[in-house]
């Protein structure tokens, strides 16, 4: 089958190309099970070597090839041609500065992520037997879903609240905080909740639900945000709060 790709291009460093424009490419002999990423490679290697995109593992783990495909945030390596049809529109994810073509500057995204202390905090001495700090399966289940985040930015850059206010930490940062807030072994939950209580924290979420379907790892992002909101309202140093009320 023949497939037409309509790609939004931009090169801010080159005169006459600094403004976004659309360019079409036609690929022949495309199989329905080919991936969008493979077809973008074909365009770059066979038709226009100046096309720029970011990719790495090509297996849905690194998250580097996040882009808008037919108006939806997706990983190009996970989407098959049969899922998008014979006309495919590709553009960079929204809300972040474009470096070139499909590549965006992820610095603001990671700056927000760093704000929520996305690391384990526990100053207690290690167990005498030298083993790791153990926890029950029930405790682990409270944050298991949010450990799957690959920092692709699909959820954050699908969020209208983030588009409207680049100071909002965004869904991915809240997911990263959730993973540690609800870890019964961590000791910095209250500090993270204080950070997320600020005006550009969790309350800027308007529960639009764009983030959950955008996640390529099927994380229940909106549910995690709701659990953080509930923890703040309860003033709980969590890892132990009852979340069934908002499931």
Does the residue 241 lie in any domain? Answer: no
Phi, psi of 46 (to 5 degrees): -105, -25
Q: 111 and 71, same structural domain?
A: no
Does the residue 239 lie in any domain? Answer: no
DSSP per residue, 156-203? GGG-HHHHH-TTS--HHHHHHHHHHHT-TT-S-HHHHHHHHTSTTSGG
What confidence tens digit (pLDDT) does each residue in 141-192 have?
Answer: 999 999 999 999 999 999 999 999 999 999 999 999 999 999 999 999 999 9
pTM above 0.85, yes or no: yes
Tell me the sheet residues that pair with 79.
Answer: none
What confidence tens digit (pLDDT) does each residue in 97-139 have?
Answer: 999 999 999 999 999 999 999 999 999 988 887 788 889 999 9
At residue 131, the pLDDT reads 81
Cβ contacts of 229 within 8 Å, gap of 6 or more: 202, 203, 205
Domain ranges, residue 226: 107-234
At residue 13, the pLDDT reads 87
CATH number of the domain enclosing 167: 1.10.1060.10
CATH number of the domain enclosing 14: 3.10.20.30
Q: 213 and 175, same structural domain?
A: yes
Does the residue 247 lie in any domain? Answer: no
Radius of gyration in angstroms for the set of CA atoms belonging to the chain, rounded to a whole number? 20
Q: 230 and 175, same structural domain?
A: yes
Tell me the sheet residues that pair with 72.
Answer: 69
Q: 89 and 125, same structural domain?
A: no
State the DSSP code for 204: G
Q: 133 and 52, same structural domain?
A: no
> What are the b/e assignments for 183-210, b being 16+ CB within 10 Å?
bbbbebbeebbebbeeebbbebbeeeeb
Q: 169 and 138, same structural domain?
A: yes
State the DSSP code for 44: I
Last-in-domain residue among 69, 104, 139: 104
Q: 167 and 117, same structural domain?
A: yes
Q: 230 and 117, same structural domain?
A: yes
pLDDT-wise least confident of 14-18, 20-24, 197-201, 213-217: 14-18
Q: 131 and 78, same structural domain?
A: no
Residue 152, Cβ density class (10 Å: 0-12 exposed, 13-18 middle, ≥19 buried): buried
Last-in-domain residue among 75, 104, 133: 104
Does the residue 240 lie in any domain? Answer: no
Q: 230 and 114, same structural domain?
A: yes
Count up the domains in the chain and report the number: 2
């Amino acid at each position: 089958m023949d497939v037409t790709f309509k790609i939004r291009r931009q090169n801010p460093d080159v005169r006459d190309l600094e403004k976004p424009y659309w360019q079409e490419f036609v690929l022949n002999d495309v199989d329905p099970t080919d991936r969008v990423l493979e077809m973008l490679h074909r365009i770059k290697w066979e038709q226009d070597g100046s096309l720029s995109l970011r990719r790495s593992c090509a297996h849905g783990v690194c998250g580097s090839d996040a882009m808008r495909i037919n108006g939806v945030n997706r990983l190009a390596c996970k989407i098959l041609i049969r899922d998008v049809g014979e006309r495919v529109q590709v553009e960079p994810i929204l809300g972040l500065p474009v470096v070139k073509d499909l590549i965006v500057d992820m610095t603001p995204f990671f700056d927000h992520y760093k704000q929520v202390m996305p690391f384990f905090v526990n100053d207690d001495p290690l167990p005498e037997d030298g083993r790791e700090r153990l926890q029950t399966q029930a405790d682990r289940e409270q944050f298991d879903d949010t450990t799957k985040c690959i920092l692709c930015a699909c959820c954050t850059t699908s969020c209208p609240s983030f588009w409207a206010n680049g100071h909002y930490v965004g869904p991915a940062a809240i997911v990263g905080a959730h993973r540690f807030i609800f870890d019964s072994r961590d000791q910095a939950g209250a500090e993270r909740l204080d950070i997320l209580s600020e005006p550009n924290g969790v309350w800027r979420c308007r529960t639009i639900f764009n983030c959950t379907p955008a996640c390529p790892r099927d994380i229940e992002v909106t549910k995690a945000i709701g659990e953080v909101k509930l923890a703040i309202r309860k003033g709980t140093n969590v890892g132990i709060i009852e979340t069934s009320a908002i499931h």
